[in-house]
A and B are shown apart, each in its own frame.
Chain A
């Protein structure tokens, strides 16, 4: 469904400058949940912005359903880490969820139904008349997820969406995400720096090392539905976690080294 081919992104005008993303290749099958794991500063966010069509890549291609992505595709939704900035404070929760629908051609009763359904799916039925800033952080991120759901995307890109909520809320949001993803049949690309989160959520985990390229791909064969306590107690969970930790740790040391020379980059 999503194919990333030889993606390369250099910030600034000089195409030969140090890349943030280099030689990135991977594919995501329809219905798959792929977690992209990387330490901070490894180029995850830049990669995701290229995937979403928000910024053009310097070289390489992103194909969605086989067609190159040149701008934000119609059937893609994006959930940002910074929910307080992604939600518009001058709109009520309901309007925050509903406003993109019009530009997708959904209006009137259909838009209202989609909005209320999405709010109910994230457990915010009856909160539509409030403003986002009247809600807790976890609820605000649920509003952002509801907005994405109401849009009925085929592909959902998420940029560390749960990084700024507390651990309890985070567990709740993870389970909510797994549940709505089943119900709405969405393909998810989920960027995170949290190993447990990646293993718990995903069908497959890709480890990125700077400049962003896939250094390890691991299939996660944990049974679904997953459970916050039981799944994390499985020996397989511990094994995956150790493997990814080792792969990331190497990445951490790479990142700490001063300006890697081109020879090291491969």
Chain B
């Protein structure tokens, strides 16, 4: 069911490609033309969204899709706004997000030090590799019965699931990051007599930071998927449970509105992560807005 949510951890190098050159290229066209182009791009994007929404609306209103199961989009959005002005929706969002935050926080606290350790010691890395390779691909939702058995259906269960699953991508990214410190940078530090603690703080950690950030961003979306899944399947309180409740009370419009909310939460978290990354890692080639030379 949710097996495909286990993240593919990208090899470290993939991180440098991606967005590197794209934003800078347009900048040369002159500010006026660039702005016009940006508005046009935005228009095209909004137009695409509106077209899809309008198509759904029409299909529902004209009866192409059974209205009972596919209510018109406009009604869903009215319901969404009604929910947004009430307290209960925010309580549910808070419950889902607290599981997300505690789980991801704990996983980070455990995985980053572990990754630093395994990344800096060849022996430790080889000793642990098989164990990691065994645990990492376990489909996250397969653990739900175990989690419910041990922790019940409350917050603890959600946190356990999220910690167990997001630990691995953060660990792997930290290991790659620590192993990928530039040897010239390390030689430089040694030549200037930096003690090991300073090498770690000034060289190793900053150069591993982009890898760890990628691990966290991947884990963040996985953690949200798991939180909602745990709520859906095991009935812990939160957005997922609210969706089930709406469904079983035949409140189809509300169910759709809540599904849209989960999407918005995921989008919001991802955007927040990207913004923080762009700010803290502005020195990294993938985040630079200007090209050297």
Contact = CB atoms under 8 A, between A and B. Distances in A.
A164 interface: no
Interface stretch (B45-53, B66-74, B163-171, B195-203): B195-203
Task: Tell me if A's interface is mostly helix, strand, loop or mixed.
Answer: loop
A85 B185 contact: yes
Interface residues of B, number: 24
A76 B206 contact: no
B283 interface: yes
Interface string B272-293: 0000000000011100101011
A78 B192 CA distance: 8
B284 A80 contact: no
Contacts of A89: 283-284
B283 A103 contact: no
Contacts of B202: 88, 91, 99
A137 interface: yes
Contacts of A99: 192, 202
Contacts of B283: 89-90, 131, 133
B292 A72 contact: no
Interface string B259-283: 0000000000000000000000001
> Which of under 10, 10 to 19, 20 to 34, or 35 or more describes the interface residues of A?
20 to 34
B292 A134 contact: yes
B187 A80 contact: yes
Contacts of B207: 90
A100 interface: yes
Contacts of B187: 54, 78, 80, 86
Interface in A132-168: 133-137, 147, 151
Interface of A: 52, 54, 71-72, 74, 76-78, 80, 82, 85-86, 88-91, 99-100, 102-104, 131, 133-137, 147, 151
Closest 6 CB pairs of A and B: A100-B192, A85-B184, A78-B191, A90-B206, A90-B283, A133-B292
Given A85-B185, A86-B187, 6 more contacts: A77-B191, A82-B184, A89-B283, A103-B193, A103-B194, A131-B283
21 contacts: A52-B191, A71-B190, A72-B190, A72-B191, A72-B192, A72-B193, A76-B191, A80-B184, A86-B184, A88-B185, A88-B188, A88-B203, A89-B284, A90-B207, A90-B209, A90-B284, A91-B202, A100-B193, A102-B198, A103-B192, A133-B288
